[in-house]
Amino acid sequence: MEAAEKEEISVEDEAVDKNIFKDCSKISFYRRQKQYLSKKSTYQALLDSITTSEVSTKFKIINEATKVPLLAEVYGLEGNIFRLKINEEAPLKPRYEVPDVVTSKPGTVRLISCSGDAGNLVLADGKGDLKCHITANPFKVDLVSEEEVVISINSLGQLYFEHLQIPHKQRTVKENKEDASIDTSQENQEDLGLWEEKCGNFVDVKANGPTSIGLDFSLHGFEHLYGIPQHAESHQLKNTGDGDAYRLYNLDVYGYKIHDKMGIYGSIPYLLAHKLGRTIGIFWLNASETLVEINTEPAVEYTQTQMGPVAAKQKVRSQTHVHWMSESGIIDVFLLTGPTPSDIFKQYSHLT
């Protein structure tokens, strides 16, 4: 009798079991942000609160629903870099800010208020080549270069900021009664991991409640995006509308699958976008678990023509929306404006 047939071994059989790692549906801060943003609550910038100094311009942002103020800071940095920081105005305790990554204190460029009215503010660097247009209601920031909008911040209204809270045990009876309706409605929904979150046998207790953050960026005219390593995916980043977001979370994954957006050995929250004539970068300085959603869509413009039956000519200008969501920390983002790939590498190497 012939020897028993050899057992077939597939590479797929040795691939990692994704069930032991989280996808978006299992990440509570992702679910919370998606649920909240569906309600279309907006933020408003209080431009009458502006203070300026040699290094930055500061103003308050307030949410229409919670009325809890945030403090926004806009910096102009040497080498055509803008920095935006958003934090609680008066947190219960200091929120985590990433140390040791920015190699040295970047040199600042004073931003000058060059125009604006009650609902708008325009800041420009000394040369006037780059301008930062701030719209008050709803809060939005447009980064303009040579009269062209390159990046818009919060144009989709996805700014999200969870505030530190007093632990339940330290609250007064009155405070608990005021929050009762909120807690009840949350209990009737799936667990959102507000005060503790479970993963297998591990329980993550959040002493001061959830502290996740999020913000969207619209990149005008860009459809080729790269970066945010490390993933076993294509070099050019793909749209995430039909599946999970790109996950930035350090994991030692044996037998990881290719063409997959799960995080593996390292995470660098740095994204590049390129089009004819300009390259830009977004450096999201946050060390906590981060998810990045990408959606590229053509923006269609019509111009009249004089050709008889042809009433209009269609011009397609791509636009890509990038939505960053992190589990904790503050919003601290560097916008690298290039304009050339060489300039981008100089700007990033100057920072880190």
- pLDDT per residue rounded down to tens, the chain (352 residues): 445 455 554 445 556 666 667 778 888 999 999 988 877 778 999 999 999 999 999 999 999 888 889 999 999 999 999 999 999 999 999 999 999 899 878 889 999 988 767 789 999 987 778 999 999 999 999 999 988 999 999 999 999 999 999 887 776 544 554 444 344 344 433 467 888 887 777 788 888 889 999 999 999 999 999 999 998 889 999 999 877 899 998 888 777 888 888 888 889 999 999 999 999 999 999 999 999 999 998 766 666 655 555 555 566 678 999 999 999 999 999 999 999 999 999 999 999 9
Nearest C-alpha neighbor of 321 from the set 338, 300, 298, 301: 298
Nearest C-alpha neighbor of 284 from the set 86, 90, 144, 23: 86
Q: What are phi and psi of 101, to 5 degrees?
A: -95, -50
Q: Give the length of the chain.
A: 352
Beta bridge partners of 46: 60
Q: What is the value of pTM for the model shown?
A: 0.86
Longest dimension (CA), the chain: 92
Report d(CA 43, CA 137) in Å as an integer: 7
Residue-wise DSSP of 286-347: --S-EEEEEEEEEEEEEEEEEETTEEEEEEEEEEEEEEEEESSS-EEEEEE--SSHHHHHHH
